[in-house]
A and B are shown apart, each in its own frame.
Chain A
Amino acid sequence: MAGAKSRSRSASIQIRQPPSAWSRVKRNKAAVFGLMVIGLVCTAALLAPWIAPYDPAEQFSDGMTLEGRPLAPSRRFLLGTDLLGRDLLSRLIFGARISLLIGVIANAVALTIGTMLGTVAGYFKGWVSTAFMRATDMMMAFPALILAIALAAILRPSLWIVALVIAMVNWVWIARVIYSVVLTTSQREFVEAAHALGVPTTRIIRKHLLPHLVPTLLVWGTLGISTTVMFEASLSFLGVGVRPPTPSWGGTISESQSFFLEAPWLVAFPGASILLTSLAFNLVGDALRDALDPQLRSV
């Protein structure tokens, strides 16, 4: 009896909640498509040894024509074979691991550096912030890809080196965004209040500022994976990415470049993988930005 009463009372004063960020993302069809693609790519990466039809490194004796050319897609090799007679589908599935792993590592590093520097510069202002602005100006004037190619070529790239090189180039953009968010947030009353109450600086930054950066980090982290996947593919295409025989998407295109007029599937399928992955992270990142950070909806 009492329960029914309180329920009816709570129903009568129900306040319409603004739609949550998640429901706003869910309403965006493009973002849902993006999430599905991301789910697919992640599944492929995680379960690669179980779902790939063949070993990605195995060179099949029946994987080439008699003249030694790659095979077009068929029943046996669903996406065809590459120049060495390896199954392209299996290589793409394992390639998802490389792309995602580099995407995640490079972004984690870039976000960490960017957040640390951006927060310190935005919070302390003064000469710290001037130095920060000049340093980032300089990084932004760097011809990033040329520098990355030079570094990657000289360092003989492993997965880690490629990821770190990309992070070195990408942190600046994140740092600038974090800087401007911290700059405005640190002027808000609750930060001033904490300051007036004598809360130590590190605690203000940790407890009062950092939580406000989470939406921005989420948005830029997602968009960043899209950039990183493309960047990694470009490096691999230029021959300075992760070394063969590691199956990377850009690397597959690079190896097949001289053959692509006869075997266009060797460019089309890895190309589609890169495009779809990068598109998916772009769509989701964009939807997150709209949902979490309406002021940032600039473009």
Chain B
Amino acid sequence: MGGYLLRRLLQSVVILLGITLITFALLYLLPADPARMIAGRSATAETVMQIRAELGLNESLPVQYARYLARLAHGDLGRSYAQKIEVTELLSSRIGATFLLMLGGIFFELLIGIPAGILAAVRRRTAADQSVMVGAFLGVSAPQFVVGLLLLYILAYKVPVFPLGGFGSLTHLILPAFTLGIAGGGWYARVMRSSMLDVIHRDFVRTAWAKGLSGSRVIWKHTVRNALLPVVSMVGLDIGTFMGGVVVVESVFGWPGIGQLAWQAIQIVDIPVIMGVVMVSAIAIVLGNLLADLVYPLLDPKIRYGG
């Protein structure tokens, strides 16, 4: 296990390094000049040159990248071009909100998906099963900004139960988290259903029935508990999809997280901030995957990693 963990950690570091390299190359090779963006349209060529020199943009790309890595090793993500603040400071002021939103989203997707999946599997080939599957397809196919705007229209404007966007109390969190959870809920309903159907025919479930245990006991204790394992460990693999959803949902609800930060930074080619958000998201994704791989054998002792 220790050897395996070490190897996986090493792999993760390599992946993250690769991501910095590609993002860096893409952002600097593209035909946008951050110095000109900062200087503004009416700036003279001299001012632009001066800004470029200040930011170290005159160096060759490999030199700039090496400098970036050296600073990164010290936990320094550079300074925002536009706001003249450390990127780490910007990120840490925003990341809490995003984390909260993601937790809320995960809460809702499991809250929707798991009971729906159980219901569909237990009542297989009935109207209940079909409605769950139709609902799951709708959830997966609905663009998040449309869901978000509709929820705002109905539950914040027509029947003002929730605030019209913004950040603060728990009531602010519910709609954006629910929006984020709908697509995932549809997905988890399908996964949970197939996981249940996979378990429902196993020998130990048949034994439980044969022992004369009550139906609810067989379903909850023997089937659901076993079917839940693969589903829960999938949450870790989901972080990537979530990060995409976060940008859209934050924009719809005016949620002050790193998605909004990225969005604003992209508009003005604030490269250090974009790099920072990409890094943080990539770390979250890599950690999520790692966690999923590590948690799975703990939940299911039949699986052991060599190493």
The interface of chain A, by Cβ under 8 A from chain B, is 30, 134, 137-138, 140-147, 149-151, 153-155, 226, 230, 233-234, 237-238, 240, 250, 253, 257, 260-261, 264, 267-268, 271, 274-275, 278-279, 282-283, 286, 298-299
CB <8 Å contact, B278 and A143: yes
For chain B, which range describes its interface: under 10, 10 to 19, 20 to 34, or 35 or more residues?
35 or more
CA distance A149 to B266 in the complex (A): 8
CB <8 Å contact, B23 and A147: yes
CA distance A55 to B18 in the complex (A): 48
CB <8 Å contact, B32 and A154: yes
**Chain B hits for A141, CB < 8 A:** 15-16, 19, 240, 282, 285-286, 289
CB <8 Å contact, B149 and A271: yes
CB <8 Å contact, B134 and A237: no
CB <8 Å contact, A261 and B153: yes
A-B contacts, 22 of them at CB < 8 A, read: A30-B134, A138-B22, A141-B15, A142-B19, A142-B22, A143-B285, A144-B244, A145-B245, A146-B262, A146-B277, A147-B23, A147-B26, A150-B26, A150-B262, A155-B30, A234-B144, A238-B251, A261-B153, A271-B143, A298-B194, A299-B187, A299-B191
Which of chain B's residues has its CB closest to A168's CB? B26
Q: Is residue B103 within 8 Å, beta carbon to beta carbon, of the partner chain?
A: no
- The majority secondary structure among interface residues of chain B is helix
Within 8 A of A (CB), among B256-288: 259, 262-263, 266-267, 269, 274, 277-278, 281-282, 285-286
CA distance A71 to B266 in the complex (A): 34
CA distance A38 to B247 in the complex (A): 29
Which of chain B's residues has its CB closest to A169's CB? B244
User: Which one of A154, A155, A264 has the greatest number of beta carbons of chain B within 10 Å?
Assistant: A154
What's the least CB distance linking A20 to chain B, in Å? 23
CB <8 Å contact, B190 and A299: yes
CA distance A154 to B149 in the complex (A): 27
Which of chain A's residues has its CB closest to B134's CB? A30
CA distance A264 to B191 in the complex (A): 34
CB <8 Å contact, A279 and B247: no
CB <8 Å contact, B244 and A151: no
CB <8 Å contact, A145 and B248: yes
**Chain B hits for A146, CB < 8 A:** 243-244, 247, 259, 262, 274, 277-278, 281
The interface of chain B, by Cβ under 8 A from chain A, is 11, 14-16, 18-19, 22-23, 26-27, 30-32, 134, 137-138, 140-146, 149-150, 153, 157, 187, 190-191, 194, 240, 243-245, 247-248, 251, 259, 262-263, 266-267, 269, 274, 277-278, 281-282, 285-286, 289
Which of chain B's residues has its CB closest to A280's CB? B141
What's the least CB distance linking B288 to chain A, in Å? 9
Known: A143-B278, A143-B281. A278 touches B18 (CB 8 A): no
Total cross-chain contacts (CB, 8 A): 138
CB <8 Å contact, A153 and B243: no
CA distance A150 to B274 in the complex (A): 8
What's the least CB distance linking B9 to chain A, in Å? 14
CB <8 Å contact, B153 and A260: yes
Which of chain A's residues has its CB closest to B277's CB? A146
CB <8 Å contact, A279 and B137: yes
CB <8 Å contact, A279 and B138: yes
What's the least CB distance linking A290 to chain B, in Å? 12
Known: A141-B289, A144-B244, A146-B247. A151 touches B26 (CB 8 A): yes
CB <8 Å contact, A274 and B143: yes
CB <8 Å contact, A142 and B146: no
CA distance A150 to B244 in the complex (A): 13
**Chain B hits for A226, CB < 8 A:** 141
**Chain B hits for A250, CB < 8 A:** 143, 145
The list of the 9 closest CB pairs from A to B, nearest first, reads A145-B244, A271-B146, A143-B281, A279-B141, A278-B141, A154-B30, A154-B32, A138-B18, A143-B243
